[in-house]
Amino acid sequence: MSKTKLLSGQVMCRFLFVMMMVLCLISSSDAQDTGKEKAEMKKEATPSFGVAEPKEAEEFFKEAKRLEPSDPLAAIRLYREGMILKPDAWQERKQIAVLYEKQQQWGLALAEYEAVNKVTGSVESFADLSRIFDKAGYPRAAAVTAREGFAKHTSQQHFLLISGEIFLKIGAETEALAVLQEYVKLKPEDGKAFFLLGSLHEKAGRFTDALYAYIRARELLNNDINVSDAVKRIQARTVTVDGLTLIPPQGWLPDKNGLTNIKNGERIKVGAIASGDPAAIALKVAREAMPEGLFADEAMKSYEQMKKKREEMIKADPESGKQIESVPVPLFNTRDVSSLTGAKMALLSTGETPYPGMESAVAMAIPSGGKIYTMVWKGAAPVEDGLKVINDLFEQTVWSK
């Protein structure tokens, strides 16, 4: 090979190498340009006001509002940037909470609603905070917040109903009862609240209170099948005697003009008298339940004398008094019924202290609905036993209003 040809080949190689280097530089430049274009496109996708950021919070808020439907996270960022310039923009802070709530980010929403409520304490902020507490899984806090909302805004009685419903939902029945009772005093025309009260009373076994509440709910909620069913359910447990509705205590069944205890045969007789002195009537029906003559006027006078003599002997000679105390002395007493004005009670027993074979009677005379109703218990037991039964029945009786 000639020297000329060798030089020509070397030149050609150098030319090809230079061309390859040029092509690599062009390719690298194109790649850099493409990367810049992509970066610019990505930058444009993020909400921005360009080189000069606004100095007014309202501009951030306006742009955030525009982005809420399409990009809530970007909207939240812009709201926060605006609040750096305007920290007291509580309506916009609430919008941040709303956006978090829509995304079911309960913890973040709760923090924002709490911040708004702490500063503003408005009706709206209490309602928002109570709602989000419930959604976030803190129902007791939701109920308490609603109760606090009423305490601050007493014209907003609906907060009590919200609180009562939530307390009822979580089984906090004592709190629910207190709140709902307070609510119906302020809103006596709300049938829903009376229905809720009825369910609370029924669950607790306060059937008389439940029936009153359900009947009131039925008056206010026409044709409500749930209320009608509740009234029927309670009425199925009742007994009507002389126009009086009774709910028998546990273990008692209705019979002619009264109730009988299915275990021990004790009986409660119920009746009605047109008029008269309740004290005299109570004593009369109690006497009639006891053995004839045992509590006649003369007999009771002699009992009084016996009691006085015994007290004197015990005072004079305590030792001999111990023997006298063992002798049964009949008991008779009359008293008021504290829970119902005008009602009277009579208590009779063959012994002041329990002894085998004793007999007792407890009678009530209660004015109601233009009549005087009587209830008398008779049993072979201490008078305290009958007093408890009569009181239980008295509490479970639907009285005329």
Given this model, what pLDDT does residue 162 score?
97
pLDDT at residue 46, as a whole number: 44
Between these two residues, 102 and 246, which has the higher pLDDT value? Answer: 102
Q: Is the pLDDT of residue 49 over 60?
A: no
pTM across the whole model: 0.64
SS (H, E, C) the chain: CCHHHHHHHHHHHHHHHHHHHHHHHHHHHHHHHHHHHHHHHHHHHCCCCCCCCCCCHHHHHHHHHHHCCCCHHHHHHHHHHHHHHCCCCHHHHHHHHHHHHHCCCHHHHHHHHHHHHHHHCCHHHHHHHHHHHHHCCCHHHHHHHHHHHHHHCCCCCHHHHHHHHHHHHCCCHHHHHHHHHHHHHHCCCCHHHHHHHHHHHHHCCCHHHHHHHHHHHHHHCCCCHHHHHHHHHHHCCCEEECCEEECCCCCEEEECCEEEECCCCCEEEEEEECCCCHHHHHHHHHHHHCCCCCCCHHHHHHHHHHHHHHHHHHHHCHHHHHHHHCCCCCEEEEEECCCCCCCEEEEEECCCCCCCCCCEEEEEEEEECCEEEEEEEEECCCHHHHHHHHHHHHHCEECCC
More confident residue, 177 or 322: 177
- Over residues 277-304, the pLDDT tens digits come to 999 999 999 999 998 888 888 887 887 7
pLDDT tens-digit series, residues 73-132 = 999 999 999 999 999 999 999 999 999 999 999 999 999 999 999 999 999 999 999 999
